[in-house]
């Protein structure tokens, strides 16, 4: 799947396929609200959890590192860094793994950004290469992103999705708004069904923590 941030032509990537399901997991000192895991109440997995990162979070280093690996080293969409001015206003979300030798590591990323009151976008959606066979991560990041924004007054949540991933997003209750061509590739601007993505009770921080991008210059 591909998300493109508003006012940019910079592509974020996270391959995945069929819908998966989640249950809460409380490990590594991080609690996950059960309301964030409603995709399929009949199934469960405790291998991954999804977290809004706040100022001072020890996971921010892993968040930035994974973004750099995906968008700079793998996709070569950027040279030195994939960070931009939107990061100053965006809220980072990370997927955390709870098993194996990588336990406690950030294995997925996404950011959410309010461009005008009530209008939100998802961007920089990506999953670590070694974890792309796990369908849960991409969907969990999308779920966490949309439900968090919805809880903060989101009226519309949009993302730009590459054509081959449109069916996947439709299965997750997104609809196409319009077709676009970006860098010669066909995309759909898609909108999440907020009636499906119920508002999270996640408290909105007073300010995004993304100013930390300047520290890594």
Per-residue pLDDT reduced to its tens digit, 104-134 = 899 999 999 999 999 999 988 889 999 988 7
Q: Say if CB 70 and CB 48 are below 8 A apart.
A: no
Structural domains counted in the chain: 1
Per-residue pLDDT of the chain (217 residues; tens, 9 = 90+): 444 433 333 333 333 322 233 233 322 333 333 344 444 332 235 788 999 999 889 999 999 999 999 888 887 777 888 888 999 999 999 999 987 888 889 999 999 999 999 999 998 888 999 998 877 888 999 999 999 999 999 999 999 887 877 888 899 999 999 999 875 668 899 999 999 999 999 999 988 887 544 443 3
DSSP-assigned letter for residue 27: B
Spatial separation of the C-alpha atoms in residues 65 and 153, rounded to whole Å: 30
User: What confidence score (pLDDT) does residue 42 get?
Assistant: 29
The parent domain of residue 113 ranges over: 2-216
Farthest-apart Cα atoms in the chain, separation:
46
Q: How many CB atoms lie within 10 A of CB 13?
A: 20
Specify the CATH number for the domain of residue 180.
Answer: 3.40.630.30
């Amino acid at each position: 799947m591909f998300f493109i941030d508003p006012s940019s032509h910079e592509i974020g990537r996270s391959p995945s396929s069929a819908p998966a399901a989640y249950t809460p997991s409380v490990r590594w000192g991080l609690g996950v609200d059960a309301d964030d895991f409603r995709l399929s109440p009949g199934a469960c997995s405790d291998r991954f959890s999804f977290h809004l990162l706040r100022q001072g979070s020890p996971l921010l280093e892993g968040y930035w590192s994974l973004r750099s690996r995906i968008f700079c080293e793998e996709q070569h969409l950027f040279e030195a860094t994939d960070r931009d001015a939107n990061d100053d206003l965006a809220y980072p979300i990370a997927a955390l793994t709870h098993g194996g030798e990588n336990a406690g590591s950030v294995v997925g990323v996404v950011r959410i950004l309010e461009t005008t009151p009530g209008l939100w976008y998802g961007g920089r959606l990506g999953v670590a290469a070694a974890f792309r066979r796990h369908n849960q991560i991409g969907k969990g990041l999308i779920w966490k992103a949309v439900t968090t924004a919805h809880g903060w007054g989101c009226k519309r949540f949009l993302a730009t999705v590459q054509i081959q991933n449109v069916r996947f997003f439709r299965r997750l209750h997104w609809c196409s708004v319009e077709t676009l061509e970006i860098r010669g590739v066909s995309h759909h601007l898609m909108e999440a069904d907020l009636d499906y993505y119920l508002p999270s009770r996640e408290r909105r921080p007073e300010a995004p923590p993304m100013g930390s991008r300047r520290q890594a210059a």
